[in-house]
Structure 1
């Protein structure tokens, strides 16, 4: 699986839940945070047929691919910017809706980042995002970690770098969003599997590309990396079904609204 196709395939069931919650209207102007290759931005643009959609991401290659796909698919009311939503100087009050598919968990300063997003929304503008619930509720994370730890001991699976579960705790997220200028924060449980590929080889290639997996494998000597890879392969084989390699997962759809105009600081 290529990066864009793989990520979109992995989260296709989560996409359906996000679309329902977003409820993009024909005249909406939509901001897609951490848009990757732009699948969510393009469907938002199609729904906002008399409006527009802007996708932003910190990955220049992802933005380049997003632009290519939009051209290929003939989506005209969509644009993409290589930008960090934490700091980008969006026009105040430009958007009706901000969406994100697992693109908001890695902010360095979550309050400042969400405040920047709030300023980009009009009064009563909406935020709708999917984030992972706690790691212990996500089978995929637990299975990967157990495989790596079994290969080299607990240190191999130790957490490090960006935290994909930083927005898992509802009270913390509610406090963060309120401090950033949002109100009416609500959480909806999303219990859907993630898809890692049609067979074990594709799934192994996909999982080895995860930042957490790659970091561990890079720390190991060649023999240790081989053992870890074999552990991962056996674990993925245990999750292979007739329709591919799947893992249980739990996510939140978090919704909130802005209540007052936000001017640049």
Structure 2
């Protein structure tokens, strides 16, 4: 992972929230909220909350007396997240590094993280912090993307950008979002952080968009891939986005499109 992989700056947060969240994140947020709700926690800590799709799912699922503390390293993402739950008194938003959480030991029943662990520069340290914040018997529940080949839209985006920039192909997707799917490695990292009773499930959903242009915009301009494209100059961000849209349309057709998405959902005690 590079420093730019965590750069959710400028208009990225708004595009991410408007296009990418419903495209690939919403169904997995509901999945996590269901799992956490079944545990009947007294309180929940969320790390790497992004623009708050899991926070919203938890707010809708959990009883109104269960407080939710939602954190993210990137303040622009939290600013966007706040717009959705501005009047929710039980939700506390706080800028925080998942590798150095500003909370006392044994403060929460559940720690949850949606598609954030791939961005941790030191995953064992991040997991150890999640464990430190948990009370005895608490659970760490999180998910990570599976191989890019099992995720239809980003796979086409990645392959198209490889062809568009053959001399210096951008590798953000395979390096970070889809770069941490080896189950034995995940188990080893969690074990090193002190976790036990590790359960890993493969969960598949369908990703749907009104047109090929939506995922092209979402992945090219609503993720740190934007910075990689812009850094390479010609043909530029708009031309690259258009090329991706055309590739998606060739693969999935004109009009509404859909494709498979696949992730690993992990729970550890």
Q: Please point out which of 3, 10, 16 is paired with 2:30.
A: 16
Q: CA deviation at 1:144?
A: 1.2
Q: Please report how far the alpha carbon of residue 27 of structure 1 lies from its aligned counterpart in structure 2 after TM superposition.
A: 4.9
The range that moved more, 111-120 or 26-35, is 26-35
Q: What residue is the counterpart of 1:164 in the other structure?
A: 177
Using the alignment, how far apart are the partners of 1:39 and 1:221 within structure 2?
A: 33
1:116 aligns with 2:129: yes
Over 3 Å counting, the alpha-carbon distance change for 1:145 and 1:125 in structure 2 is: same
Residue 189 (structure 1) aligned with residue 202 (structure 2)? yes
Distance in 1 between the 2:115 and 2:181 partners? 11
For residues 122 and 148 of structure 1, do their structure 2 counterparts lie closer, same or farther at Cα, with a shift above 3 Å needed? same
Structure index of larger Rg: 1
Q: Is the 8 A contact 1:25 1:48 kept in 2?
A: no
> How many residues are treated as equivalent by the alignment?
253
Report SS of the residue matched to 1:23: helix
Structure 1 segment 1-265 matched on structure 2, within 5 A: 2-10=15-23, 11-46=25-60, 47-71=62-86, 74-153=87-166, 155-158=168-171, 163-195=176-208, 197-211=209-223, 213-223=225-235, 228-238=240-250, 239-240=252-253, 244-257=256-269
Runs of 5+ in structure 1 lacking a partner?
Answer: 258-265
Contact 2:205 2:262 in 1 (8 A): yes
In the TM superposition, what whole-angstrom CA distance separates every residue of 1:80-117 from its partner, at most 9, and x where no partner exists? 10111111221111110111211221111111111011
Contact 2:43 2:110 in 1 (8 A): yes
Give the structure 1 partner of residue 10 of structure 2.
none
SS in 2 for 1:136: helix
Q: Secondary structure at the match of 1:156?
A: coil
Measured in 2, the distance between the counterparts of 1:68 and 1:227 equals 31
TM-score (norm 1): 0.84
* Deviation of the 1:187 alpha carbon: 0.8
Match of 2:3 in 1: none
- Give the aligned CA root-mean-square deviation in angstroms: 2.5
Q: What SS does the aligned partner of 2:214 have?
A: helix
Q: Secondary structure at the match of 1:222?
A: coil
Normalised to the residue count of structure 2, the TM-score between the two structures is 0.83
Tell which deviates more after alignment, 83-92 or 149-158: 149-158
* Contact 1:92–1:120 (Cα < 8 Å) also in 2: yes
1:162 Cα deviation after fit: 5.9
**Secondary structure, counterpart of 2:100 in structure 1:** coil
Q: Is the contact made by 2:230 and 2:236 (CA closer than 8 Å) also made in structure 1?
A: no
